[in-house]
């Protein structure tokens, strides 16, 4: 079994690209959950057993050193519920009720050009039922596959301790045993 225990850099970095050009290169596709683990056992795209032991969240295009082979990480996309509120005339009370209901479910959120994106944790049916009760007429929803890193800024600084927990970012917070949530805004043309 190969063991990838060193982070080399990103495939778009010039020095890393030069190393890739002259190396035996493998590829692994990781889920959002696996990319956050410090130890993962999986297989490369060509079927070789590999253990990944790195103390960092991995991103699409990261390159790891595995013995005499370099391994490029690719991330499997995640499904996201997209709520298109651009141009919709949503009363402030409805927006607050929707934000409260979804925030209490601790759904990550990314904002993109008048759209709110939520990763699908397990069931589209459950998500549809939740938002259907809250959305006014004219607000469209759909699902699309997005990179799991779409929601990363909403999760920066994630920590558990004491009586509460926090999710860093530009969200809200409560003192004491409360919590806070971050929101990631996707800039036009990227993340």
Summarize pLDDT for 99-154 with one digit per residue, the tens: 888 888 888 889 988 888 999 987 899 888 888 878 887 788 899 999 998 888 75
Which pLDDT belongs to residue 187? 58
Instruction: In the chain, list all ranges with CATH 2.60.260.20.
Output: 2-75
Q: Which one has a higher pLDDT value, 9 or 153? A: 9
d(CA 172, CA 182): 8
Residues 6+ apart with CB under 8 A from 91: 136
d(CA 66, CA 19): 13
Q: Helix, strand, or coil here: 145?
A: strand
- pLDDT for 164 beyond 80: no
Smallest CA-to-CA distance from 105 within 168, 167, 156 is with 167
Q: Domain 78-185: which topology?
A: Alpha-Beta Plaits (3.30.70)
- pLDDT for 169 beyond 60: no
User: Which residues pair with residue 71 across a beta bridge?
Assistant: 26, 64
Instruction: In the chain, list all ranges with CATH 3.30.70.790.
Output: 78-185
- pLDDT for 184 beyond 60: no
> CATH: 2.60.260.20, 3.40.30.10, 3.40.50.2020, 3.20.20.70. Which one for 2-75?
2.60.260.20
Distance linking the first and last C-alpha atoms of the chain = 35
Phi, psi for 116 (deg, rounded to 5): -110, 130
d(CA 51, CA 134): 45
Residues 6+ apart with CB under 8 A from 41: 1, 49, 50, 51, 52
């Amino acid at each position: 079994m190969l063991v990838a225990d060193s982070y080399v850099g990103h495939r778009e970095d010039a020095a890393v690209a030069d190393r890739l050009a002259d190396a035996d290169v493998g590829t692994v596709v990781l889920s959002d959950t696996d990319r956050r683990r410090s130890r993962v056992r999986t297989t490369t795209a060509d079927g070789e057993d590999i253990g990944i032991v790195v103390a960092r969240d991995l991103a699409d295009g990261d390159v790891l050193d595995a013995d005499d082979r370099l391994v490029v990480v690719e991330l499997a996309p995640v499904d996201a519920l997209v709520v298109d509120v651009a141009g919709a005339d949503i009363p402030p009370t409805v927006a607050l009720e929707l934000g409260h209901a979804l925030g209490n479910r601790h759904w990550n959120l990314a904002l993109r050009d008048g759209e709110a994106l939520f990763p699908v944790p397990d069931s589209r049916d459950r998500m549809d039922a939740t938002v259907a009760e809250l959305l006014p007429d004219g607000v469209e929803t759909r699902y699309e596959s997005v990179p799991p890193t779409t929601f990363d800024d909403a999760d920066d600084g994630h920590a558990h301790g004491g009586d509460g927990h926090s999710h860093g970012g530009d969200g809200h917070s409560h003192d004491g045993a409360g919590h806070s949530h971050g929101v990631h805004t996707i800039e036009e043309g990227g993340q």
